[in-house]
Amino acid sequence: MKKKVVSMVLAAIMGVSLAACGSPSDDSSKGDDKKTEDEAGDDKTADDKTGDDAEQGDEADNTGGDAGGDVANKDKPLVWFNRQPSNSSTGELDMAALSFNDKTYYVGFDANQGADLQGTMVKEYIEANIDSIDRNGDGIIGYVLAIGDIGHNDSIARTRGIRKALGTGVEKDGDINSDPVGTNSDGSAKAVKDGEIEVNGKKYVVRELASQEMKNSAGATWDAATAGNAIGTWSSSFGDDIDIIASNNDGMGMSMFNAWSKDNKVPTFGYDANSDAVAAIADGYGGTISQHADVQAYLTLRVLRNALDGVDIDTGIGTEDDAGNTLSDDVYVYNEEQRSYYALNVAVTADNYKDFTDSTKIYDPVSKQLDAGAHPTKKVWLNIYNASDNFLSSTYQPLLQSYDDILNLEVDYIGGDGQTESNITNRLGNPSQYDAFAINMVKTDNAASYTALLNQ
Ligand code: BGC
Ligand code: CA
């Protein structure tokens, strides 16, 4: 029965995300890019054919290619991950970066589908716990919201998802305003409005009491320590007006949970399904969203492997590879126009969290070792924009480190400080030493700081 529910949910998710990806609606300004895209698409088909030949060639002489020695850096495989090249104010995709060469891709997850899931999860929790949720019984359900990075599309989507589900969003430029409100104890803030929720014939007001970007004084965003401090301030000014805590991610969510909400039994909702957050559901953490990091980490390295092997990019993804690895289409979508792979999200709540306890466990359908003869070792430069980001360091990187062995990739992991791009680009001093690159930018606008180095 549980299984049936899960597949129904997945079916619903698929519907939503296909709809989302099928309409590159906000790309109206990119008519030209689109054309280039289509051309690139055609080229790709041609490449695929020669790719297959190349693969056979490699297998025959078993040299596995020339280790990227003669390939110009600008022609090497490149994958952007976790931060999609885009304008941090408008969200418009940076198609120049996404199609830097014909071996360039983005790997992330479907931000809107996940944001809708998070909002719905919180709303359903309120409905199911309506008898106890309003702690001071004043008819107002108050929540506070921790925002990760006001210029990051995932963060923006999650803020909107919460406001949409709870009815607190107001429109700005054709979409839900995602600005932080600061404090809003009396409901007079302009960036949000009071929502209303009706359960069992009774109406409740829903109010965003406070929200803030969790950025520390040095400039690091999604900052867990800042969130831990914020809940201290918020709880002393709002006390038991706070009925729910929502957070753009688990790093900040767990910091608030440990600092205050666990003891005060206030359900806290995050995102990422980091192992510590999933375990905390047993102690009252409200829930989280898995962005299928096990699938994303695989895709991040897999697209590089395929490009290096010169095979069809779908190998080991939608098409089973020679070792038997393949992903089913209920865990990811590929948007060819955006050259982007998006993993699909799953809600993790008290009902199913036991299935998600180890966030670093690789995904079984893509866990088979590639043959070292047919897929010889290649060198990859990969950076994590912030070495102390909870999700990237505790979930994503451990997964990458398991898949790099399976895919015969020798990866140099570079950890950034989360604040300055140059801290990372300085360590891409000699791209010629590598066969491929995987990049996680500090700021989504900054793709050119990396491609400039590869163009030199
Ligand atoms: C994750 C956050 C993380 C951010 C970093 C998001 O996708 O959910 O937890 O801090 O990426 O870029
Ligand atoms: Ca109340």
SS3 329: coil
Q: Between residues 46 and 310, which one has the greater pLDDT?
A: 310
What is the distance between the alpha carbons of residues 147 and 152, in angstroms, rounded to a whole number? 10
What is the distance between the alpha carbons of residues 193 and 167, in angstroms, rounded to a whole number? 8
- Could you tell me the distance, in angstroms and rounded to a whole number, from the CA of residue 179 to the centre of ligand 1? 18
Nearest-ligand number for the alpha carbon of 115: 1
- The predicted-structure confidence for 118-156, as pLDDT tens digits, reads as follows 999 999 999 999 999 999 999 999 999 999 999 999 999
Nearest CA to ligand 1 atom 11: 82
The mean pLDDT of the chain is 88
- The predicted-structure confidence for 211-256, as pLDDT tens digits, reads as follows 999 999 999 999 999 999 999 999 999 999 999 999 999 999 999 9
Say if residue 279's pLDDT is above 90. yes
- The predicted-structure confidence for 172-185, as pLDDT tens digits, reads as follows 999 999 999 999 99
- Could you tell me the distance, in angstroms and rounded to a whole number, from the CA of residue 114 to the centre of ligand 2? 27
Two tokens at 254? Answer: 């767990």
Instruction: Kindly report whether the global pTM for this prediction surpasses the value 0.95.
Output: no
Say if residue 55's pLDDT is above 50. no
Length of the chain: 456
Query: What pLDDT score does 451 carry?
Result: 98
Two tokens at 256? Answer: 């608030």
Say if residue 66's pLDDT is above 80. no
Percent of the chain with pLDDT over 70: 85
> Does residue 310 come out as left (phi exceeding 0), alpha (psi in the -120 to 50 range) or beta?
left
Mark the residues whose beta carbon lies below 5 A from ion ligand 2. Answer: 134, 136, 138, 140
Residues with CB under 6 A from ligand 1: 82-83, 148, 154, 222, 249, 251, 271-272, 389, 391-392
Ligand 1, pocket-test mutation among 158, 389, 393, most atoms within 8 A of CB? 389
Which uninterrupted H or E stretch holds 289? Answer: strand 288-290
Evaluate whether 290 touches 299 at the Cβ level (below 8 Å).
Answer: no
Say if residue 78's pLDDT is above 80. yes
> Does residue 68 come out as left (phi exceeding 0), alpha (psi in the -120 to 50 range) or beta?
left
What atom in ligand 1 is closest to the CA of residue 148?
A: 10
What atom in ligand 1 is closest to the CA of residue 250?
A: 9
Q: Between residues 409 and 41, which one has the greater pLDDT?
A: 409
Lowest-confidence pick of 45-59, 76-90, 107-121, 237-251: 45-59
Which uninterrupted H or E stretch holds 17? Answer: helix 2-22
- The predicted-structure confidence for 257-275, as pLDDT tens digits, reads as follows 999 999 999 999 999 999 9
Query: What pLDDT score does 91 carry?
Result: 85
Nearest-ligand number for the alpha carbon of 242: 2
Nearest-ligand number for the alpha carbon of 248: 1
Ligand 1, pocket-test mutation among 226, 249, 446, most atoms within 8 A of CB? 249
Q: Between residues 30 and 429, which one has the greater pLDDT?
A: 429
Evaluate whether 196 touches 167 at the Cβ level (below 8 Å).
Answer: yes
- Could you tell me the distance, in angstroms and rounded to a whole number, from the CA of residue 133 to the centre of ligand 2? 8
Helices (H), 76-152: 95-98, 111-128, 130-133
Q: Is 69 exposed, middle or buried (0-12, 13-18, 19+ CB in 10 A)?
A: exposed
Beta strand 378-384 with 409-415: parallel, antiparallel or unpaired? parallel
Angle (CA) 304-419-456 rounded to 5° is 50
Two tokens at 326? Answer: 């393949």
What atom in ligand 1 is closest to the CA of residue 108?
A: 7
Query: What pLDDT score does 90 carry?
Result: 85
Ligand 1, pocket-test mutation among 156, 221, 222, most atoms within 8 A of CB? 222
- Could you tell me the distance, in angstroms and rounded to a whole number, from the CA of residue 378 to the centre of ligand 1? 28
Query: What pLDDT score does 69 carry?
Result: 66
What is the distance between the alpha carbons of residues 369 and 409, in angstroms, rounded to a whole number? 11
Nearest-ligand number for the alpha carbon of 238: 2
Count Cβ atoms below 10 Å from residue 326 Cβ, excluding itself: 16
Instruction: Dump strand ranges (E) for 63-111.
Output: 78-81, 104-109
Which positions ≥6 away from 433 have C-beta within 8 Å? 379, 381
- Could you tell me the distance, in angstroms and rounded to a whole number, from the CA of residue 148 to the centre of ligand 1? 8
